[in-house]
A and B are shown apart, each in its own frame.
Chain A
Amino acid sequence: MKNVIIKIVGLILMVVSFIAYVAKADAFPIASENLVPWSVWFTIAVLVNMVVWFPVMKLVSFSIGIIWFYAFIAGLMPDTSTASGTLESLDWDDPEGVAEIGEGIFNTKGQCAACHTLDTSAPKGRCPDLSDIGAIAASRQPGVSSKQYLIESLYEPAKYLVPGYGKIMPEVWKNPIALTQLEIEAVIAFLQSKGGDIDPTPFDEPINRADADTTTVALEPLLTGEIEKGKEVFIDTACVSCHAVQGVENPQAGDENVDFEVVTAPELSDVAAVYEMRYIEESILLPHKEILPGYGKVTITAQGIIYDGTLVSQDEEKIVVKTKADDGTETEHTIRLSDIDEEPITDLSNLLEKGYFTITITPAGSDTPISGEIVDEDADTVTVKVGEETQIVSKTDVKKQMTLIDYSDVETVGEHVSGTRDDAEIVMIVDGVEESFDPFDIQDVITAFAKGRKLYERSPMPDNFPDLLSVKDLANLLAFLSSLTGATATEETTTEDVGEVISE
């Protein structure tokens, strides 16, 4: 009788613990603080059944034990799901629960954690740390609420770029991530919970879902290049001298006669896993458009000293520039933005694109210059923030500053009244007195419409790099870069990797 009870208990325990394990049920509580995982219960049950039962039941127990063993091994491996489940509704009576759902999406389907960190002490991520985004979102943009800021940032990631970070975030509502509105609402709740209050107010999506099917697949070029040839391009055009890629050697490494400057550039071993191919293509064709933090080159003059180096970091008040002396010594300089020297602006078009962030400009008909931060501009006007106010100033109707340099290199600076070097005379007001100059005596003329502080970050990549590539070279290079997925269980993504596909 005792034996029969053991047999039945063993059998029931095996079945129950197997189902509980597969269903990911909580551990079985045999005491308040001693939880025994279902995997342990299952193992015990199989062993008991293997001892007490007759041969057929032993076989059954053994078979279920082996089946479970593989499920157990798989359970120890990293989660590879492309989804976090299907959300049909959100219970806003429990905002913390919604935030919890959002956290799950943040870490899985949304793939947010691939770039954003949630820990200020963690190594800097590719995108801003979000550990206190709920507290600071409201102050990011004047007049934009916390929730609105997050909504717009998720649907239009390029709209509000945090200084120092590039335009690399994909539109998460589109394929392949394709978050639904409910999922985005949950993610926003999670982000608001990071230091702020969760706002359950519903919102309308600022996009057209009909565009959601625009996939990267559809954007792929009609005819792709060849990976191996792209690798040759990568080496031949000296990309490899700055960008490290696992498994690709720099043929000129260690060569003392290398006549190019060795600079540090982002490692590209996993570039295809992190960035969309269109972004990578744009980075090749327009190297200066988006620069990863810590890799841009700058040349600035502050309090008369010229700094030529790498822009390490930047915030609203200061920048850190790393320079390298001839002997190789590297030094970091912290420079207040207000200490950067103003320089003449000879062309008022595309000020922001050129890196100007402040301007001092005098409208025609006024003797008082307007000086402040450049907020916005268009072809004809520039918007300047002076104190708490903003002023829109015409670009065409301004007083010009003229610098005349004679053949003795003597400079005369004044307000331009009339005339150019092609005219009979140039008239300027110098120190309040109108004076006339003979162009025949002038070596050079510099006309400035304003003065401004400028911080222009450029890529170390050669300006003419795209010109070095033929169309085929570019296609091949992109094919090679698309094969660099980094975090893999295999060495590289050539067809050799497929040798392990054994059976189906």
Chain B
Amino acid sequence: MRCCSFTHKRIYYLIGIVLLGIILFVAIPAFAQDLTDAEYRPFPKIGSRSAAWIAAQLHLLFGSFILGVPMFAVIIEFIGWKTKEERYDRMAQEFIKLCMGAFSTTALLGGVLVFILVWCYPNVMKKMSGIFGPTMIFYVILFFGETFTLYLYSYGWDKMQGRHKGWHLFLGVLLNVWGTAIMFVSNTWLTYQTSPAVHWSKASEATREKWIEAQLANNPEATRSEIVQSVTEVLDKNPHGPVISLHDEVSGDFLGTVWEAVNNFTWMPVNIHRLIGNIAFGGSIVAAYAAFRYLVAKTEEEKSHYDWMGYNGNFIALCGLIPLPFAGYWLGREIYMFNNTMGIAMMGSLFSWLFILQAVMIGVLFIGANYYLWSGMGRVSDGEKYARYRPYMIAIIVICIAIWMTPRTFSSISSAAELSAMGGSNHPHLGFFGLMSAKNTVVNIVILTTFLSFLFYRRSGKIPTASWKSIGNIIISSLFFLGTVIIVVIGILGFVVEPATRVNVLTPWQVLVALGVMVVVTIIDIFMYRKATSSGIINWGKMTDRSQYVLILLAITFTSLMGLMGYARSGLREGWHIFGVMKDSSPDAHTPSLSEAVNMVSIIMIIFFALVGFIFWLGLWGDKKKQTNVPMVETAAADVSNSRDD
């Protein structure tokens, strides 16, 4: 029972009492009113939207953490089992301990969110539960499964060692299945609010028939043959057919089935986006936790352990970060497919500046991640041999990020005189950097540069023994050079070809070239360094304090990005609870400005980190009481082939 059940129960009760107290304090005056049949019931002091926003965002942040951490914890446990290295097993267990602390808080916040929604938005909840009732029952079953599996997985860790390890790993996998299923189910509700429609091809015969009947009832001049003909015309061009609403556009009645509501346009893209995002987020929070423990560590052993843990957390976060843009692309594409106007609002008008802020944050992530890798080379004895490349690499990254941050037009931030001097809302020179072709190009170059940093880190402390190492290095250098040239040439071509050619041909080729370079270089590098000799040791625990602050910076930036994207996804509905079906007629029926939203996200983040810090502190307290030994990390010469953890 290493996982200190009393400590977690204490957390559970303590936070629960505090949250309940806050809610009761602010809500008592409102509860005193007679609002039995009200369409909306105001949440006192801060307003209904703010209350729901805070509860939902906090629930989501904690949820992401507890769903993301078990994914890589079970993988690390598996690595430890196969390599027989206990330190992996201990680290995985430590991750799950953090997860246990956050689990009860997630559940509590979920309950708080439901209470707020039921109290403040009774009609919305009535409508949603009317459609999604069966999924809510399923959710409860999954939640029980998740809870008991987590308890078994966590409390059974020490008992299920040796010959039982396989069963323990099975529990870890099962835990992830439950967790993923829970997220998929809850995603159905929020994605449905955004895109309550399906393609004709995905609708059942009964739904199609109901939809046609609704069209006939709402358009007295239309005939059935005309409607069928119009659907057929679309089917001739697109095998999925037209987009059909799952509601009668006039009465608002639900026309579809539960599965159709679940399988709406944005459900699966959001599922995949969040699944990957959870890994990145979980990794970054773990890394931040390790950084905190590193900075307050009293002994060299502790420093070594948490340096190692921070490195692994950051590595996991980067692994999640790289594929996220592709999932984001899919999600955005589905939004355009569902409703072109919504897509335009997202990328072209209402939220266009949000994506400039997003570029700032992603710039911070890449610069921070590179900085951490470069700092990491300092802990390897001969790692400094690559230091001479750093100024050039940071120059490339900073220039690329600056291009990525360039707005397309300057109309909303320029005076009339400035616009006149520019000859319009596009800057005569910088305007080119605002185009997608330029942005796609620099993103690929930033990814290649980050990969190069990682390659240097991987090579630190090793001397290749392959006879063809010189040729290998020439090939690798040529691949980087040629790849960059091709990416730039494709980017320039993107300015002169039709958008469709750029979207369907050039952009995928840019990505393929970048991925191709990384894959081929990795293969060559692995063979080159297969029998490498060691030229230095990894001095775990010898990182600068600055590098640990970078890990915290990355965690905060990840969290900000999640909050910001949540604002975009939710704000896209503008004045609707369910887009096109149920209007929002509450006082908050508008999309707040970017600065308002970021202010709110900032407040939520402070609450989140305060809660996380409190939970981690309680965990630390419990650990101290039990005098748990910090696992040792070897600081001797690194095993070139295995212990670099890369």
Residues of A within 8 A of B (CB): 22, 55-56, 59-60, 62-64, 66-68, 70-71, 73-75, 77-83, 86, 109, 122-123, 175-176, 178, 213, 217-218, 222-224, 226-228, 246-247, 272-273, 472, 479, 482-483, 485-504
Contacts and interface: CB of A to CB of B under 8 A. Distances in A.
**In the complex, the 5 A-B pairs of residues with the closest C-beta atoms, listed nearest first:** A498-B332, A83-B590, A501-B328, A489-B352, A504-B565
Contact of A79 (B329, B502, B593): B593
Contact of B499 (A223, A272, A492, A498): A492
B355 A500 contact: yes
Contact of B328 (A22, A62, A500): A500
A449 to B, nearest CB: 39
Q: Find the residue from A74, A213, A218 having the highest chain B CB count within 10 A.
A: A74
25 contacts: A63-B609, A66-B557, A67-B560, A70-B557, A71-B601, A74-B594, A77-B413, A79-B594, A80-B350, A86-B588, A176-B574, A217-B341, A487-B409, A489-B347, A491-B499, A494-B499, A495-B343, A496-B502, A496-B507, A497-B332, A497-B348, A498-B329, A499-B328, A500-B358, A503-B321
Contact of A494 (B358, B425, B503, B568): B503
Nearest to A487: B411
Contacts of A80: 350-354, 591, 593-594
B583 interface: yes
B316 interface: no
Given A74-B594, A494-B499, A489 B340 contact: no
Contacts of B360: 70, 73
Contacts of A81: 590-593, 596
Given A59-B295, A213-B583, A489 B355 contact: yes
B237 interface: yes
Nearest to A56: B296
Interface of B: 215, 227, 230-231, 233-234, 237, 242, 249, 270, 273-274, 277, 280, 292, 295-296, 321, 324-325, 328-329, 331-333, 335-337, 340-341, 343-344, 346-362, 407-409, 411-413, 416, 425-426, 434-437, 439-440, 499-500, 502-503, 507, 549, 552-553, 556-558, 560-562, 565-566, 568-569, 574-575, 580, 583, 587-599, 601-603, 605-606, 609, 613
Contact of B598 (A66, A71, A213, A496): A71
Contacts of B413: 77-78
A62 B348 CA distance: 34
Contacts of B562: 503-504
Contacts of A497: 332, 343, 347-348, 436
Nearest to B406: A489
Contacts of A59: 292, 295, 549, 552
B171 to A, nearest CB: 29
Contacts of A498: 328-329, 331-333, 335-336, 343, 346-347
- Secondary structure class of chain B's binding surface, majority of residues: helix
Contacts of B321: 503
Contact of A490 (B337, B352, B362): B352
A503 B347 contact: no
B357 A22 contact: no
Contacts of A123: 416
Given A59-B292, A109-B590, A503-B324, A489 B605 contact: no
Nearest to A19: B603
Contacts of A109: 590
A464 B617 CA distance: 77
Q: Find the residue from B230, B436, B553, B603 having the highest chain A CB count within 10 A.
A: B436
A502 B561 contact: yes
Contacts of A178: 575
Given A67-B560, A504-B566, A223 B230 contact: yes
Contact of A500 (B350, B359, B597): B359
A472 B502 CA distance: 26
B324 A502 contact: yes
B336 A495 contact: yes
Contacts of B575: 82, 175-176, 178
B348 A488 contact: yes
Contacts of A228: 500
A316 B435 CA distance: 46
B292 A78 contact: no
A413 B157 CA distance: 113
Given A490-B347, A495-B333, A503 B280 contact: yes
Nearest to A77: B353
A196 to B, nearest CB: 26
A74 B595 contact: yes
A176 B583 CA distance: 11
A82 B499 CA distance: 30
Nearest to B276: A503
A67 B270 CA distance: 25
A77 B434 contact: no
Contacts of A496: 436, 499, 502-503, 507
A78 B343 contact: no
A115 to B, nearest CB: 14
Contacts of B580: 217
A11 to B, nearest CB: 14
B595 A75 contact: yes
B627 to A, nearest CB: 21
B340 A482 contact: yes
B407 A489 contact: yes
A117 to B, nearest CB: 10
Given A78-B412, A479-B340, A502 B565 contact: yes
A315 B549 CA distance: 67
A71 B354 CA distance: 12
Given A66-B556, A70-B602, A488 B349 contact: yes
Given A77-B353, A222-B227, 11 more contacts: A56-B292, A66-B552, A78-B353, A80-B350, A82-B574, A489-B407, A490-B408, A498-B333, A502-B362, A502-B561, A504-B568
A488 B351 contact: no
Contacts of A487: 349, 409, 411-412, 425
Q: Find the residue from A60, A178, A491, A493 having the highest chain B CB count within 10 A.
A: A491
B361 A499 contact: no
Contacts of A223: 230-231, 233-234, 242
A500 B362 CA distance: 10
Given A67-B556, A81-B591, A489 B356 contact: yes
Contacts of A493: 340, 343-344, 347-348
Contacts of A122: 416
A186 B349 CA distance: 27
Contacts of A86: 587-588
Q: Find the residue from B233, B347, B407, B583 having the highest chain A CB count within 10 A.
A: B347
Given A80-B594, A223-B233, A501 B409 contact: no
A500 B439 contact: yes
A67 B590 contact: no
Contacts of A224: 340
Contacts of B230: 222-223
B313 to A, nearest CB: 16
A55 B594 contact: no
B561 A503 contact: yes
Contacts of A60: 613
Nearest to B610: A60
B602 A71 contact: yes
Contacts of A486: 409
Contacts of B249: 218
A504 B590 contact: no
Nearest to B337: A495
Given A55-B296, A498-B328, A498-B331, A77 B587 contact: no
B606 A64 contact: yes
A109 B277 CA distance: 34
Given A80-B594, A500-B355, A273 B349 contact: yes
A414 B336 CA distance: 68
Contacts of B337: 495
Contacts of B277: 503-504
